């Protein structure tokens, strides 16, 4: 450090009375080591000395559950009243598929819940239904999503009035069960590379659907193996031309293709269906493979919202290029990602509830000649589960925000909002599902040997949820979309472009957050400062902004020698870290906002504890990044670590209230080790004693 900078630093520190006092105190310790400094944090190490928050559980639950809790309770009550529709622990693949179909039929035709009516008009209510249904059986949640969000959603979002008029009622009442046939054996993430063709025959006014080779077989298609009667098939639209080429490829479009007879349920001519067989999880969903051999469909079966073909074979579209049409098509299907992010939080709530309730009930070891203590009183168990509980709340509020933005997008069709929701849904789906997948293993391990019993649900939850990381967009691919969008915004910032709300912090971040860290604030270690939402959010934004600036420079450097694709691949891990950092920033911002908006003081205090733990735990886990750029001084890093441990302890004291606020009924958690009373009696009965 040069002398001028040292003098400036000293002047700033001396101007701050608190900093000066702290330095004098530390110097005095060198002179008189026997002096004991006051503790950095007023942390009580004994639960008896710690003042426990008195939380109004009903107020917290009401704030968490939101405006659609009534329809969720209606779903829970229906399945609780129908033991024959509850999924047993041991069930074969074929029986599970039939049960899952009967569960969906019961929900729609007996309970009178009609999810399809909310897909377009009230998405918030639809996703609330999906969360409740998925908590009963994840296979049921996915099967419902295939029927209504994917098959039904493609018809109403990619089609026009004629399609809605013809198919809506049948999809709604389950007469028209259907599939979403996008993925092929050779192409999943690269949708533009699909090989199935739909060639227009102007003589018969029909499209001819063909699978040109084995790699183009539609694969992993839900509802295809057993129950589906229709499929939305994504295929390359091929039109005849009068030039030397003879045909013109207009890119990927969507077509309604009947695959089974409406009366006999037999496979239709030219359609070949195979069963994808037993899977790691979700065996209540009948995934199949589809091959088409010159299957003819009427011209009207083209879902023609973004592109149409006239009787004479003329192609028309309001969008000028293949890429724009493709982008618009996929943009209308983003609801699947929104639903998966939201559903994944539901799975996290269940697993965290089971593990934490068990940890409160389970007693093991203790001081000599004293009763055994709850295993949640052990710091190691708190370290596993309390940040997870805080994260569950954080992801809840973030995905609620995503659903609200998605609903607004469906009503307004605002272009900026569409772009915002596309990137946000990609990021949250990827981040949350990856976290939940890891958390399920942590919860199982936290419950010891009892967590390995199938009746306690961790195995089925883990297996069923695992594929959430892959379908509706591979998580690694989705994070790259987020990174690409951030780089686009970064470029627009310097060209004077506008930024959407979620990305607005980037407007000032390149100036404020990337300036030299303030040498005074980098050393502040007081609890009030560390629990200040401004400090926490600034830290998250600083990290994202620095990552963004660095990766932009690296890409520019490597593109000169490696080209665009090579440079992207060289910086790929950096890009994924950037995307995750941005999503964490959005999550924290929404959590802070939710704490502020909570009307009940006691519930707000509990949420503030969880929010602080989430923020500081994330900062501590990435403390190397902050230390490398001197954003956090060593003494401050140590203070963050101590405060994180203390907050875990404090959250433990209200853990029961926090998990009870999810209001998951017993038949949903249905883990004997997690029941609120007489846990082991119920557990031994399950085993057979």
Q: Which residues contact 67 (CB under 8 A, 6 or more apart)?
A: 124
Three-state SS for 237? strand
CA 439 distance to own-chain centroid: 13
Which one from 131, 206, 332, 472 is the annotated catalytic residue? Answer: 472
Can you tell me which residue has the tokens 């195995």?
A: 459
* Strand boundaries in 380-421, DSSP class E: none
Nearest to 272 by CA among 232, 224, 335: 224
Q: How far apart, in whole angstroms, are the C-alpha atoms of residue 149 and residue 167?
A: 14
Phi-psi region of 418 (alpha: psi -120 to 50; beta: other; left: phi over 0): alpha
Q: Beta strand pairing status for 230-240 and 197-201? A: parallel
Q: How far apart, in whole angstroms, are the C-alpha atoms of residue 532 and residue 337?
A: 33
**Which DSSP state fits 149?**
I
Bridge partners for 201 per DSSP? 206
Mark out the alpha helices in 571-675 (DSSP H runs).
572-597, 601-621, 623-628, 634-653, 655-660, 666-669
Q: How far apart, in whole angstroms, are the C-alpha atoms of residue 436 and residue 346?
A: 10
Three-state SS for 405? helix
CA 629 distance to own-chain centroid: 31
List the structure tokens of 8: 């400036």
Sign of the CA dihedral 22, 25, 27, 29?
negative
Nearest to 640 by CA among 487, 479, 512, 531: 531
List the structure tokens of 547: 């990552």
* Strand boundaries in 282-408, DSSP class E: 288-292, 295-298, 308-309, 315-316
Residue 76 burial by Cβ neighbours in a 10 Å radius (0-12, 13-18, 19+): buried
Sign of the CA dihedral 630, 632, 636, 640?
negative
Contact 59, 600 (CB under 8 A): yes
Contact 433, 344 (CB under 8 A): yes
Three-state SS for 458? helix
Judge whether 657 counts as a catalytic residue.
Answer: no
Q: How far apart, in whole angstroms, are the C-alpha atoms of residue 199 and residue 160?
A: 21
| Residues with catalytic function | 472
């Amino acid at each position: 450090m040069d002398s001028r900078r040292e003098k400036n630093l000293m002047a700033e520190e001396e101007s701050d009375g608190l900093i000066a006092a702290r330095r004098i105190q530390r110097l005095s310790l060198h002179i008189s080591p026997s002096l004991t400094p006051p503790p950095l944090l007023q942390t009580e190490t004994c639960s008896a000395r710690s003042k426990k928050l008195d939380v109004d559980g009903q107020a917290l639950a009401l704030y968490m559950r939101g405006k659609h809790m009534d329809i969720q309770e209606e779903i829970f009550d229906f399945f609780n009243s129908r033991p024959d529709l509850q999924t047993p622990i041991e069930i074969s693949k074929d029986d599970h598929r039939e049960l899952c179909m009967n569960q969906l039929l019961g929900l729609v035709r007996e309970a009178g819940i009609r999810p399809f009516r909310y897909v377009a008009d009230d998405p918030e209510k639809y996703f609330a239904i999906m969360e409740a249904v998925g908590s009963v059986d994840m296979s049921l949640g996915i099967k419902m999503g295939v029927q209504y969000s994917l098959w039904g959603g493609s018809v109403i979002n990619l089609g026009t009035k004629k399609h809605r008029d013809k198919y809506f009622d049948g999809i709604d009442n389950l007469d028209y069960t259907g599939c979403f046939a996008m993925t092929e054996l050779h192409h999943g993430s690269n949708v533009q590379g699909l090989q199935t063709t739909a060639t227009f025959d102007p003589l018969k006014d029909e499209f001819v659907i063909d699978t040109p080779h084995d790699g183009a077989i539609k694969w992993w298609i839900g509802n295809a193996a057993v129950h589906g009667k229709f499929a939305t098939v994504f295929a390359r639209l091929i039109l005849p031309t009068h030039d030397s080429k003879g045909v013109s490829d207009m890119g990927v479009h969507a077509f309604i293709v009947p695959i089974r007879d409406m009366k006999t349920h037999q496979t239709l001519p030219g359609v070949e269906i195979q069963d994808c067989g037993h899977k790691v999880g979700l065996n209540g969903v009948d995934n199949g493979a589809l091959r088409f051999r010159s299957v003819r469909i009427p011209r009207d079966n083209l879902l023609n919202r973004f592109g149409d073909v006239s009787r004479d074979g003329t192609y028309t579209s309001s969008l000028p290029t293949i890429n724009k049409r493709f982008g618009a098509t996929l943009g209308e299907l983003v609801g699947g990602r929104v639903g998966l992010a939201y559903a994944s939080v539901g799975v996290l709530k269940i697993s965290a509830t089971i593990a934490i309730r068990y940890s409160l009930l389970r007693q093991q070891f203790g001081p000599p000649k004293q009763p055994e203590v709850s295993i949640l009183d052990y710091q190691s168990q708190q370290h596993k589960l309390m940040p997870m509980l805080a994260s569950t709340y954080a992801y809840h509020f973030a995905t609620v925000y995503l659903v609200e933005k998605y609903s607004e997008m469906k009503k307004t069709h605002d272009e900026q909002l569409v772009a915002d929701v596309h990137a946000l849904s990609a990021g949250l789906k990827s981040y949350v599902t990856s976290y939940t997948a890891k958390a399920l293993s942590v919860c199982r391990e936290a419950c010891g040997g009892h967590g390995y019993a199938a009746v306690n649900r961790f195995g089925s939850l883990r297996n069923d949820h695992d594929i959430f990381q892959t379908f509706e967009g591979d998580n690694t691919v989705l994070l790259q979309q987020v990174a690409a969008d951030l780089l686009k915004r970064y470029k627009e910032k310097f060209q004077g472009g506008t930024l959407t709300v979620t990305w607005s912090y980037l407007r000032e971040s390149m100036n404020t957050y990337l300036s030299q860290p303030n040498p005074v604030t980098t050393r502040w270690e007081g609890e009030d400062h560390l629990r200040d939402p401004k400090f926490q959010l600034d830290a998250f934004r600083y990290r994202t902004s620095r990552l963004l600036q660095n990766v932009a420079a690296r890409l520019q450097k490597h593109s000169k020698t490696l080209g665009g694709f090579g440079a992207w691949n060289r910086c790929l891990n950096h890009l994924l870290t950037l995307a995750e950092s941005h999503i964490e920033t959005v999550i924290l911002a929404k959590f802070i906002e939710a704490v502020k908006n909570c009307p009940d003081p006691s519930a707000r205090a509990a949420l503030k504890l969880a929010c602080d733990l989430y923020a500081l735990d994330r900062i501590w886990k990435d403390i190397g990044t902050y230390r490398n750029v001197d954003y956090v001084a060593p003494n401050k890093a140590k203070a963050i670590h101590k405060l994180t441990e203390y907050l875990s302890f404090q959250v433990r004291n209200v853990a029961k209230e926090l998990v009870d606020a999810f209001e998951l009924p017993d038949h949903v958690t249905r883990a004997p080790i997690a029941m609120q009373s007489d846990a082991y009696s119920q557990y031994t009965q399950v085993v057979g004693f």
